[in-house]
Amino acid sequence: MSFTHRFESTSLREYDIRGIVGKTLSTDDAFAIGRTFGSLVRRNGGKTLVVGYDGRLSSPSLEKALVQGAVACGLNVVRVGRGPTPLLYYGSVSLKADGAVMVTGSHNPPDHNGFKITLAGKPFFGAQIRELGDLAARGDVVPEEKGTVRDVDIREEYVERLVKDYVGGQRKLKVVWDNGNSSAGEVLEMLVKKLPGEHIVLNAKIDGTFPVHHPDPTVAKNLEQLIASVREHKADLGIAFDGDADRIGVVDNTGGILWGDQLLILLARDVLKSHSGATIIADAKASQVLFDEVAEAGGKPLMWRTGHSLIKSKMAETGSPLAGEMSGHIFFADKWYGFDDALYAGVRVLDIVARMDAPLSAFREALPKTVSTPELRFECDDHRKFKVIEEVAARLRKEGADVSEIDGVRVNTPDGWWLLRASNTQAVLVARAEGRTEACLERLKEALVQQFELSGLPRPDFSGASSGH
């Protein structure tokens, strides 16, 4: 039986395959991914594929079609069932799989879904995803051959491995977890039973409609319920997940939010105690405070490009034991396996807080104070956005500015820094600025506005875009 398939072009993203179910993503696409990616696994000398899915309403049917496509390649498919994305990643490691595919829409709206893929233990992204689309369009797949399917429940084994790295201290913690109706639900309930202390779980039920709030812990509004609960229960901290639990949000005992870069400082100080001089990686959106604090703690700070696949690849290249992004992706490779796992990151945070003499708020309040904008997004045509960055970079070089071009342009000035980059996943430009004072921040924002105008773009609206950090 001949096979060809054309994907909706917008579904083939930089880091994953993603679309709107029934519009730009279908079970035919899922079958094609299984058939085409399965062929790549076979051609790579592989035989085993691990598959999992999240709690979205469309995920079971997409997973079923994906498995059918992979089985048609002669692969031995291991289904780990419904759970968080890190469970699938862990299954890929523990089962020594040649490839892994997670059906997940991550933190996107309920009618979205997608696929996160690894090949031979490494992220499958960028040019590889584009190649997959080309192979499907040409029907360039291995001859049809009947493979096998088996279901394996690795949740208990995964939870046991999660708690293994909890050492803890004298303090018995009270912790509020906001599952956000994410696919971590059942695994999280198993985890808290094995951890010491008192644990309160909000929105534990897996529900792909996300009835209480959107599952994105980087947005302060989505943490309001968690903050209220931490204060009500006088808890030591609160932890939140995104839709597939590969990103984490943390609030301290007062309900104050620890943003991704602040959390990474907490974790880096601990990791560097046993890995002195190690490289700690963060994305270009992170505060200068993070890079300074890593150096102060005896580490080598490395600024890198935003994107979980890019960060994982850089970690492997540099031998870094820890990396993180402002978006809440945290990657451990000191005792863990180098993939982003919010459940594991949560365990490591608890382990640190249990050993602290002071509350978590004392750590946050002792950090150097800056004033920054949140991550700001401005619509810009997919083709134009990269050209804009080239224009801005050329002007800055001509001016002799102190600029890093690792990911877009990040400009250092005596006032602080500002960043402008093209999103890899949306038709937007992403901006951020951090100043030493409000007056410094205003000047940085004005510098950004000037660059927009010089490239003929509408003047960006920064009104109200500042917060202490």
Asked whether the beta carbons of 164 and 91 are under 8 A apart, the reply is: no
Which residue among the candidates 26, 39, 58, 106 is catalytic per the annotation? 106
The conformation of residue 387, written as its DSSP 8-state character, comes to: H
d(CA 391, CA 249): 35
DSSP line for 345-356: HHHHHHHHHHH-
User: Do the bridges between strand 48-53 and strand 371-372 make them parallel or antiparallel, or are there none, so unpaired?
Assistant: unpaired
Active site residue 106: yes
**Which secondary structure element, helix H or strand E, spans residue 248, and what is its range?**
strand 248-251
Counted residue by residue, the chain has a size of: 469
Tokens 């759970």 belong to residue? 83
Residue 124 φ/ψ, nearest 5 degrees: -110, 110
Instruction: Give bridge partners of residue 17 from the DSSP assignment.
Output: 12, 115
d(CA 175, CA 350): 9
Q: How far is CA 296 from CA 63, 185, 277, 334, in A?
A: 47, 38, 11, 20
- What dihedral do alpha carbons 348, 350, 352, 354 form, nearest 10°? -150
The amino acid at 283: D
Catalytic residues: 106
